[in-house]
Chain A
């Protein structure tokens, strides 16, 4: 973040104490309970399923772009690969959906590992466009690959189609794990290195950040979680197609979620994901207009609220929810500890 120095001197209230933790746990438990006890209607749970997965994807895109400086326009490649893994494992090899999800995640990681050797030689816009190129190349390949039935797509053939409630639980669990992993990663030394790298790659490298290793870790985490999201989406939809599974719409969604919520904030993608799903469901009533409106909103947000909703609020009101920054934290957390003790 450009204004690191200014925010450091202001008293920034960091909301990550025990109270916030309890609030988060309560929310998570409540979501589980409401899901398991069927308090939510199936329709609500379908919405929530989408919200959880979009929050996960947004958080991952934010980890790459907002915290690490790798703006990717090709993360849909992992959605597609995982979706196809689920379809191939269940319909061609007659295995369970778990096997499909596992294979999807493993192939996603291996693919990311191979790509990293090519991609990490690039920065900025080169990286962005190269990721897009790769996603398009994979889509074209799937379009003419007989094994995955070319452009016709495949169906997911699980013996027991998972119920909405089950999918809801899986998606919720995935989101919670994703949020914890990202937060934990950013609070470690590696995470500090990642943010340093985003702000100045050369300088961080000269003070001992292993750029390749840090980037790789981050990229692999993103590919696993996005692949799992893709697998769950395929299970819910029941079919995969090269044009939609590898479609640019996935990236549009991730970019929108992060920009709207706030690049480089923990809470940004959560708010962004919720708004995105509600907005896109609403926009489904106006066929054809959805991307136009989302795109226009994104451009307006970039111009008028470059920090996104959460980012702007944090700056205006001097607070940060689960900040990854540690420099401004000690005083407060010490004081909080003192308060707690007293």
Chain B
């Protein structure tokens, strides 16, 4: 029973890990940008959701109706106003600009929200479903897992079936050919960043319900997201799911003290041995 419990916990944790990484993997795959500010985007999503939920007194899940469009627009503006410009200079300056952005955002949040721990309170915080003797599933974990899975499925259907999604994938495969076929590359990049920000809004909402977070938590979530990207393979959305599960299991097996450490070591090993990831093209 203990083993099954651990596996179930790992899988549930893996769902949210996949969600943390999916925005980053899109930026990697489509825009070819390592977005080091993704962790801060997630925390911004968390704060937006918590503040909004407290202000109107609704369930945090409902706040994504507002936060997702806001973050989408902010992402589009950021990409077309700043990052598209820097990417013309080179990939290394672009990397450093996102690094600068992450530092700025982390400290700006610290100024606005102070260093206090935050957490969204939901009534089903501690509720759990009892499946068998010694086998419980936390309701919150289950909800977060379902939201993560739904987001990732919707995103992959969007990329596969819609015209916009196809043009995004075309840009990802061959930027030059896509632009010759009439795809506006800069606009596509802006939309990709918008989508990445939107997933960060949802991920932030999940983070705010599941864990305590601080303005400085972005770094941790960035590294988790990066691990998902690396293990799953750049730009591969099914890969993020598997990678999330692997990381989730590693974390749960390692326990509170060494879980994060094991996850990081796993990522570095993956980077060294198979940097293209499990599911790369």
Contact = CB atoms under 8 A, between A and B. Distances in A.
B160 to A, nearest CB: 27
Contact of A128 (B95, B108, B111, B265): B95
A306 B104 contact: no
A306 B268 contact: no
A294 B223 CA distance: 23
B101 A137 contact: no
A115 B45 CA distance: 35
Nearest to B258: A144
Nearest to B85: A303
Interface in B227-266: 227, 230, 257-258, 260-261, 264-265
Nearest to A293: B104
A124 B96 contact: no
B226 interface: yes
Contact of A291 (B82, B106, B264): B106
Contacts of B106: 291
7 contacts: A126-B275, A133-B264, A136-B220, A290-B107, A292-B103, A292-B107, A302-B89
Contact of A118 (B89, B107, B230, B272): B272
B173 interface: no
Given A122-B272, A255-B99, A303-B89, 14 more contacts: A71-B95, A73-B99, A124-B92, A129-B230, A130-B268, A133-B268, A133-B271, A141-B261, A288-B110, A292-B103, A292-B108, A299-B100, A303-B82, A303-B97
B97 A299 contact: yes
Interface residues of A, number: 39
Interface in B70-112: 82, 85-86, 89, 91-93, 95-97, 99-101, 103-104, 106-108, 110-111
B104 A291 contact: yes
B165 interface: no
A126 B36 CA distance: 12
B219 A248 contact: yes
B267 interface: yes
Contacts of B171: none
A303 B103 contact: no
Contacts of B268: 118, 130, 133-134, 137
Contact of B264 (A121, A122, A126, A140): A140
A104 B115 CA distance: 33
A295 B169 CA distance: 33
Interface of A: 65, 71, 73, 117-119, 121-122, 124-126, 128-130, 132-134, 136-137, 140-141, 144, 248, 252, 255, 259, 288-292, 294-296, 298-299, 302-303, 306
A137 B89 CA distance: 32
Interface of B: 34, 36, 82, 85-86, 89, 91-93, 95-97, 99-101, 103-104, 106-108, 110-111, 219-220, 223, 226-227, 230, 257-258, 260-261, 264-265, 267-269, 271-272, 275
A341 to B, nearest CB: 44
Given A121-B272, A288-B107, A296-B104, A259 B89 contact: no
A73 B111 CA distance: 24
B271 A130 contact: yes
Given A133-B264, A255-B99, A298-B96, A288 B111 contact: yes
Given A129-B226, A133-B223, A137-B268, A292 B261 contact: no
Pick from A132, A140, A296 the residue with the most CB of B within 10 Å.
A140
Contacts of B91: 124-125
Contacts of B85: 303
A289 B100 CA distance: 13
A134 B110 CA distance: 25
B223 A298 contact: no
A291 B96 contact: no
B103 A125 contact: no
A127 to B, nearest CB: 9
Contact of A295 (B104, B264, B275): B104
Nearest to B100: A295
Contacts of A132: 223
A121 B275 contact: yes
Contacts of A302: 86, 89, 93, 96-97, 100
A133 B220 CA distance: 10
Contacts of A71: 92, 95-96
B258 A306 contact: no
B95 A291 contact: no
Nearest to A134: B268
Given A291-B107, A292-B107, A303-B85, A125 B95 contact: yes
B264 A125 contact: no
